[in-house]
Structure 1
């Protein structure tokens, strides 16, 4: 691959891919979800299973990343993934419309569509992060992670707003038309974003000075990556931290309604308060990265560990708040939780981008795919386990307040465990080449 490094404009261009990805994902996981449950009066379990399926398919991320390692270029995988994602979203909207007249056939088509969606997210998302990691200077990785993730959230917001207006007055025909429009616009945006941004590369199946041995089969490649202590430890950290991170998503608003008596509108606004905190937490990491290079504010490791500890501490206070609902400042607590979550999440992504080059050469896609798969599995399990734990504890204790408190406390323990696991990531590199300057958890910018 060419030695061309991305400037801020190039980083923002690649961030548009995340914007496009977020636009399609919010349509399929939020809008179609609501239509199935409300307008079609189908069981809520159905969209839950479909969204879970799209996460389950992402266990293939290491194999998809391996494909980009073999070819030596990430752009074809980003474009192919976005094409699959766009086609999957269009098919999913058709499937929902079909459910109104042929439920079984519509469900079968939706299963196919969400399988394709999961594959598209895995292919595009994995290769995008690898491309960013390889072409962004170490001192810019923290801000780059912030920019890209905030642009993805912007995709959520813009699509939800625009599509919401276009869907009224609602009809299934209008739903299909809007979905097709969003999918087409997102794909075109992604094409524009990646056009000409990546240099030429030498396929890993050929002999080259950087890769003296041909690329091994996938099973051997994933075995080699799992044998790298940093890659393996980071995968475990990603799984545990994202399990804690996602476990709170589906229970925070019901908690606010059940324990604090908030109305649906008030609990929705509370979610907005949390997302505002997430934005602030991300910005704190981005603004600190200029000082990180001079060693003044620690490293990405410090932000990752600190974000996990802070998230755990706030979750413990949230658990305590259940017993003081009448006087507790819930909005301030949830905002603080958002700040801690945002700082942890973007620092972890920045660390992921730094560590992806740390180990055997020509394994970056497999390495990023391994971490992406760990994240996807954790997200799929987190929401399910969080809600299941609340239901079981409410049944066993006959006290919703105690049930929510125990679940929040359990999630706090997971965050504390994740902080310990993140500290274990720092250490000698595993078998393979030595870490590059600025790689891993060293302060951004190197010594």
Structure 2
């Protein structure tokens, strides 16, 4: 028995809960450190890099869920760890005013917990989707669950932004507490009973050692090439993650609530971009996944160049419109890549879906941490000799160039024939 549409939507609720917590730690808290507490942008960059670095454990989580036959426990346990880490990270920000070292110490612990939680919960969830979804539903399942995640991110950022002004530590902690408690409860309700109703639980654990199983996956050329593409493209995707809200505050004069709402608007654009590809590629069968990836990468690059120049001229069109456009093309690229990932996870040697998803998740985590850290560090360095606006503009332009490079790589490694597309989206 495979996942029904209703069960796929329920798993999407878990993705939504994951995104709701993570968006506060990677955007709102980052902005508070840089703008309100005047800390160097590299500090939150290092913390977020730590949380992504911890996610190098994703292949191990995926392999464990492949061989252990109980993904539900890892999904719930990971969400609890993420919730605790998210609240601890918010509390740590409030400590910086009184004690820098106390705030930093708690932040390190909190972001490590966030990395463990996202790795355990997110990887096990994706592996459950990949193994229990009928082949002809995989692309649609990827679209549905990611749309729900982006909806959760956008909704959380928008609502949190409206409640954060006027900012106070007590208000911040109250907002974060509500988000993490709601997300944890939603996860438990959404995942309950699904795994035992689908045909993926194995009677006997797979005795293959982890390293041997990982080597088997890495030996698959498609899995290896796709890993390299994920690494490059996610460097481009995440390079602006830690600097966009500080850019809005320092260059455009946005308040904490306004910049958090800006993050919500960006993810609203991501939602529409994902929905567009879902309707066009999955529903109407227009365009190959490779072409949607190319369009998303090129459009993201153009939007970043516009944001870079916009910071220098402060055009009447406003930052929000430019950021929504960036989100739209980011979403277009992301959902096409995720659709390919979901289908490729089920190809190759059997019972390695979680390991493949973990490998790609680890590549994404390394790229996200490295890209975010490099973006933040570059801004810190450039703000010495340059004013704020041109410093940010240089970094946004570099990110645009990375998106063009990712498009070139996709053009090289992804075939564009109908037969190749059918392999990526079985049942088409």
Q: Could you tell me the TM-score, scaled by structure 2's length?
A: 0.82
User: Is 1:444 aligned with 2:425?
Assistant: yes
2-structure distance, mates of 1:378, 1:407 = 16
Q: CA deviation at 1:297?
A: 1.4
1-structure distance, mates of 2:96, 2:45 = 16
Counterpart among 207, 215, 221 of residue 223 in structure 1 = 215
Corresponding position of 1:378: 367
Equivalent positions of 1:46-65 (< 5 A) are: 46-65=43-62
Q: 1:250 to 1:373 in 2, by over 3 A?
A: same
2-structure distance, mates of 1:89, 1:403 = 30
Corresponding position of 2:2: 4
Corresponding position of 1:13: 10
1-structure distance, mates of 2:404, 2:36 = 42
Q: CA deviation at 1:188?
A: 1.4
CA displacement, residues 137-173 of structure 1 (integer Å, 9 cap, x when unaligned): 3443334333322322333344445556766887656
Counterpart among 144, 157, 170 of residue 141 in structure 2 = 144
Corresponding position of 1:80: 77
Report the 3-state secondary structure (helix = DSSP H, G, I; strand = E; otherwise coil) of the residue aligned with 1:78: helix
Q: 1:68 to 1:41 in 2, by over 3 A?
A: same
2-structure distance, mates of 1:69, 1:234 = 20
Q: 1:106 to 1:249 in 2, by over 3 A?
A: closer
Worse-superposed segment, 195-204 or 93-102: 93-102
CA displacement, residues 47-104 of structure 1 (integer Å, 9 cap, x when unaligned): 4332221111111111111110111332221111112112323444454566666654
Corresponding position of 1:367: 356
Report the 3-state secondary structure (helix = DSSP H, G, I; strand = E; otherwise coil) of the residue aligned with 2:327: helix
Report the 3-state secondary structure (helix = DSSP H, G, I; strand = E; otherwise coil) of the residue aligned with 1:297: coil
Q: Which has the higher helix share?
A: 2
2-structure distance, mates of 1:36, 1:390 = 15
Q: CA deviation at 1:363?
A: 1.2
CA RMSD of aligned residues (A): 3.8
1-structure distance, mates of 2:173, 2:115 = 20
Corresponding position of 1:416: 404
Q: 1:184 to 1:422 in 2, by over 3 A?
A: same
Q: 1:440 to 1:126 in 2, by over 3 A?
A: farther
CA displacement, residues 188-217 of structure 1 (integer Å, 9 cap, x when unaligned): 1101101111236444854xxxxxxx4321
Gaps of 5+ in 2: none
2-structure distance, mates of 1:171, 1:255 = 21
Aligned residues of 1:233 and 1:424 also touching (Cα < 8 A): no
Worse-superposed segment, 225-234 or 324-333: 324-333
Corresponding position of 1:121: 118
Aligned residues of 2:62 and 2:358 also touching (Cα < 8 A): yes
Query: When the two structures are aligned, how many residues end up with a matched partner?
Result: 422
Worse-superposed segment, 232-241 or 176-185: 176-185
Aligned residues of 1:204 and 1:362 also touching (Cα < 8 A): no
Q: CA deviation at 1:237?
A: 0.6
CA displacement, residues 346-379 of structure 1 (integer Å, 9 cap, x when unaligned): 1111111111111111111111111111111211
Report the 3-state secondary structure (helix = DSSP H, G, I; strand = E; otherwise coil) of the residue aligned with 2:119: helix
Report the 3-state secondary structure (helix = DSSP H, G, I; strand = E; otherwise coil) of the residue aligned with 1:442: helix
Gaps of 5+ in 1: 207-213, 428-437
Q: CA deviation at 1:185?
A: 2.3
1-structure distance, mates of 2:79, 2:188 = 9
Corresponding position of 1:434: none
